[in-house]
Structure 1
Amino acid sequence: MYPKAYLDYLYHFHCDRDYFECHEVLEEYWKEKDASEREVHWVGLIQIAVGLYHQRRGNYNGALRMLQNASRIIGNESAAINALGLDSGRLVGLLNERLEDVKKQEPYMSMNLPIVDPDLQLSCDAMATSGGKVWGAASDLLDGSLVNRHTLRDRSDVIAERQRQLELRKKG
């Protein structure tokens, strides 16, 4: 019933708190459609993960921007968010609470998305068990590879594509 990328997002969000991976799997799914057909509610979920990633790293400005955008999108896309088995109203409330924490530069604390579909929760629990993880476990703030994941990834393909686009612009 739910896209695999969304289930993977939920797994990483709640089991290993790998918000960078949440962003990656959901953005890849979102980009599978032509730009004119992309659904903005996915962006809201992506921005929640990115905002929490920034807060966990102490980048409060980045967290504030992402979470403000996410809250706005989730509020505007409540029907689509509810169709994903989440309580959009509770989610907006959680995001607004988190925004207050970010404004005060409070340290990061793990949060759970308000899943209201019992079948979705059962699927998520089964994924956690099969992955040897605990659903809703707190983020491991001492895991540098998790906290600073963006600095550890191989970006050679992105750099090569930027260079190729620059050369194309120069030619014409």
Structure 2
Amino acid sequence: MYPKAYLDYLYHFHCDRDYFECHEVLEEYWKEKDATEREIHWVGLIQIAVGLYHQRRGNYKGALRMLQNAHSLIDKESAKINALGLDSRKLVILLEERIDGVRREDPYCSMNLPIADPELQLSCEAMAKKTRKTWGAASDLLNGSLVNRHTLRDRTEVIAERRRQLDLRKRREAKE
């Protein structure tokens, strides 16, 4: 009923608190569609994970920006969020509370998304049990590879693509 990428997102969000992986799996899913057909509610969920990732690292400015954007999208896309088995109204309230905490520079604490669909909740808990994880476990703040995941990834392909695009731009400009 729900896309696998979304279920993976929920798993990483609630079991290992790997917000970087949440971003990766959902962004990849979102980008499978043509740019003109992409559904913006997925971006709101991605931004929640990115905002929590930033807050956990003490980047309150980045966290605030992401969480405010997520709040706006979730609020506007409430029907789509509800169709994903979440309670959009409760999620908006959670985001408002989190934004206030980020403004105060409160330390990070784990957050659970308000799942309204009991079958989705049971399915997610079964996924967690199958992998011997605890659904809703607190984030392991001492796990450096989790907290600083973006600094540990291989960016070779990204850097090469950026160079390629820059070279293409320079060639186009030279022709003009």
- TM value normalised by structure 2: 0.97
Matched residue, 1:90:
90
Cα shift readout 1:3-36 (whole Å, capped 9, x = no counterpart) = 0000000000000000000000000000000010
Aligned 1:141-152 pairs, distance under 5 A: 141-152=141-152
Q: Secondary structure at the match of 2:115?
A: coil
Distance 1:147 1:14 in 2: 15
Specify the code of the residue in structure 2 equivalent to 1:66.
M
- TM value normalised by structure 1: 0.99
Q: What's the CA shift for 1:132?
A: 1.1
Distance 1:113 1:37 in 2: 26
Q: CA RMSD in A?
A: 0.4
Specify the code of the residue in structure 2 equivalent to 1:62.
G
Q: What's the CA shift for 1:143?
A: 0.3
Q: What's the CA shift for 1:152?
A: 0.2
Q: What's the CA shift for 1:171?
A: 1.2
For structure 1, the 5+ residue unaligned runs are: none
Dislocated runs of 4+, deviation >3 Å:
none
Aligned 1:19-168 pairs, distance under 5 A: 19-168=19-168
Distance 2:62 2:5 in 1: 24
Specify the code of the residue in structure 1 equivalent to 2:85.
G
Cα shift readout 1:115-165 (whole Å, capped 9, x = no counterpart) = 010110111011101111000000000000000000000000000000111
Distance 2:13 2:154 in 1: 22
Specify the code of the residue in structure 2 equivalent to 1:156.
T
Q: Secondary structure at the match of 1:138?
A: coil
Matched residue, 1:2:
2
- Greater C-alpha radius of gyration: 2
Number of aligned residue pairs: 172
Specify the code of the residue in structure 2 equivalent to 1:20.
F
Q: What's the CA shift for 1:170?
A: 1.2
Specify the code of the residue in structure 1 equivalent to 2:4.
K
Cα shift readout 1:89-121 (whole Å, capped 9, x = no counterpart) = 000000000000000000000000000101101
Question: Percent identity between the aligned chains?
Answer: 79
Distance 1:73 1:168 in 2: 34
Q: Secondary structure at the match of 2:111?
A: coil
